[in-house]
Amino acid sequence: MKKLHGFLYLLAFLKFILPFFLQSSIYEPHRDEFLYLAEGSHPAFGFMEVPPLLSVFAWITGLFGNGMFWIKFWPSLFGALNFILVGKLIISLGAEIFALILLFFCFFFTGFLRVHFLFQPNFLEIFFYTVIAIGLIQYVRTSQNKWLYITGIGAGLGLLSKYSVAFYLISLLPALLITKYRTIFLNRHFYIALGLAFIIFLPNLIWQYSHHFPVFYHMHELSSTQLQYVKLSSFLLDQLVMFLPCCFIWVTGFLYLFLNKEGRTFVFLGLAYIGVVAILLWFHGKSYYTLGLYPILFGFGSFVIEKWAIQSRFFLRFIISAVIIFFGIRFTFICLPLMSPVNLAAHYEKARAANLGVLRWEDQQDHPLPQDFADMLGWEEMAEKASVALHSLDSSQQTNTIIFCDNYGMAGAVTYYGKKYHLPPAYSDNASFLYWIPDNIYFKNLVLIENDPDEMKYDFIKQFSSAKITDSITNPYAREKGTAIMLLTGASDLFRKFFNEKLATDRIKTRGY
């Protein structure tokens, strides 16, 4: 048993460290990572788009200098910890080395490889999904109330990570109710654990209330701009595509919960899976919103396949492993940007990756690189060219100049690279950046970063004494390719008034009621 746990920790270490060597150093932080890193510089109990837990890790990352290693450290660490949690669970069920190897494949040769290397709330959400599930599994197995408290803590911290954890909790309650484990509702410790979860989540709930629940505004914006394109068929197909080399393992785990006598002990997890998928289909949720459901299914699936292979088909262990590795190596090129953009684009074209839908962006068009990879390019170029525009002014003009960006990615990137290029913090009216702009801000000049090609044609340009495009983003693979860097000087009083009034109006619009 001791050797088995040692092997588990070795695999967890490989899970943690390998992505640092695999991803090409050409790529920068992701667009969303810039936003979440910026939140670490603005401590709060909540933000427009996410709860606050990730910002704690962003703050710690800032203390260490915001380098790429520390940005990637947290998702990679929690991915390894998630693997350990599931690994320990299946060892307690009787799993041995082959099941752990299969589980490692599930965490490494699937979409988890990407999720566990992006500083986004998903890695925390998946982790706490797993904590909740394991807490209930162990309570069912042992009847020890401590597991209910672990479940409650996992639920509270999960809700502080991402609100979609509520979908899992909502699905679990009726799933428990319709099984023989409905007796859990007669246990007072269950309600104390729920109260503990509520207390942990309460600071964010108070923040949402005091800010008029901007999360509802964010959800409405997300629904109108992105979720409307989600199709039922694509959503369901993606549940297989996200884990393509190992999808048969989670399917095995899912069937185990319904068809196996021992597995039916935990059938409430299978019912909760169906509940979450149904909720997301109803709300047109993105396919990756289900990711938290799969670690446990992979664990059960690995356990079952090992028993099957050892008992009657020992030689199949090698065939199964070889097939997963063969397709898994190819799948890593979809999960992480392993090569330069030009080489990766050529690889995708040769491999006809577009047929899997991995090159389709939110605009529903295919592009040379996956959208996530294109979102990791062009940012330092943007900051450098913004610096050139700003420093073309004399020092007295610079003190009355602000940098304003069209979206949070731009603002986050300029702020991230600001120290290197001697830039002030960038502003934006997008996402939580809207809350960080000072009221009635005064400026005479504006460095405007904008991806609207018609921006110079709008009437507000006449409110400046001079306006010119100084440069643009030229990286052909960047999602921000063509974004213009504009230098507007001599703003009129009328424009400043309009600018501040619009920001005030935009803040009011973010109210969810």
Tens digits of per-residue pLDDT, 171-203? 999 999 999 999 999 999 999 999 999 999 999
* DSSP conformation class of 429: S
Query: What are the angstrom distances between the C-alpha of 507 and each of 34, 84, 217, 231?
Result: 21, 43, 11, 32
- Label residue 337 by pLDDT band (50, 70, 90): very high
**Mean pLDDT to the nearest integer, 253-271:** 95
pLDDT higher than threshold 70 for residue 303: yes
* pLDDT higher at 486 or 311: 486
Tens digits of per-residue pLDDT, 431-448? 999 999 999 999 999 999
CA–CA dist 161, 122 (Å, integer): 8
489 within 8 A of 464, measured Cβ to Cβ: yes
Residue 105: how many CB atoms within 10 A of its CB?
A: 21
- Label residue 513 by pLDDT band (50, 70, 90): low
Query: What are the angstrom distances between the C-alpha of 343 and each of 24, 150, 156, 413?
Result: 11, 47, 44, 25
Q: How far is CA 507 from the centre of its chain?
A: 25
Q: What is the pLDDT of residue 268?
A: 97
CA–CA dist 384, 38 (Å, integer): 19
Place of tokens 């667009």: 31
Which are the contacts of 273, defined by CB distance < 8 A and separation ≥ 6?
Answer: 171, 254, 293, 297
pLDDT higher than threshold 90 for residue 420: yes
pLDDT higher than threshold 70 for residue 311: no
In the chain, % of residues over pLDDT 70: 97
503 within 8 A of 404, measured Cβ to Cβ: no
* Per-residue buried b or exposed e for 176-186, using 16+ beta carbons within 10 Å of the residue's own CB: beebebeebee
405 within 8 A of 446, measured Cβ to Cβ: no
Q: Which two three-digit tokens encode residue 333?
A: 């090129």
Tens digits of per-residue pLDDT, 398-413? 999 999 999 999 999 9
Q: What is the pLDDT of residue 225?
A: 63
Tens digits of per-residue pLDDT, 384-396? 999 999 999 999 9
Alpha helices in 367-407 (DSSP H): 371-374, 379-390, 395-398
Residue type (1 letter), 273: Y
CA–CA dist 224, 258 (Å, integer): 37
CA–CA dist 117, 100 (Å, integer): 21
**Mean pLDDT to the nearest integer, 284-297:** 93
What are the structural domain ranges in the chain?
A: 2-338, 344-374, 379-509
CA–CA dist 24, 333 (Å, integer): 11
H/E stretch holding 448 reads strand 445-450
Q: Are strands 464-472 and 445-450 parallel, antiparallel or unpaired?
A: unpaired
Q: Please compute, for residue 24, the number of CA atoms within 13 A of its CA located in the half-sphere on the CB side.
A: 17
Q: Are strands 445-450 and 401-405 parallel, antiparallel or unpaired?
A: parallel
Which are the contacts of 285, defined by CB distance < 8 A and separation ≥ 6?
Answer: 164, 227, 230, 235, 279
Strand order across the beta sheet in which 401-405 lies: 427-428, 401-405, 445-450, 484-491, 464-472
Q: Which of 10-19, 279-288, 423-432, 496-505 has the lowest mean pLDDT?
A: 279-288
Tens digits of per-residue pLDDT, 110-152? 999 999 999 999 999 999 999 999 999 999 999 999 999 999 9
- Label residue 54 by pLDDT band (50, 70, 90): very high
Alpha helices in 111-231 (DSSP H): 112-115, 122-142, 146-159, 165-177, 188-210, 214-225
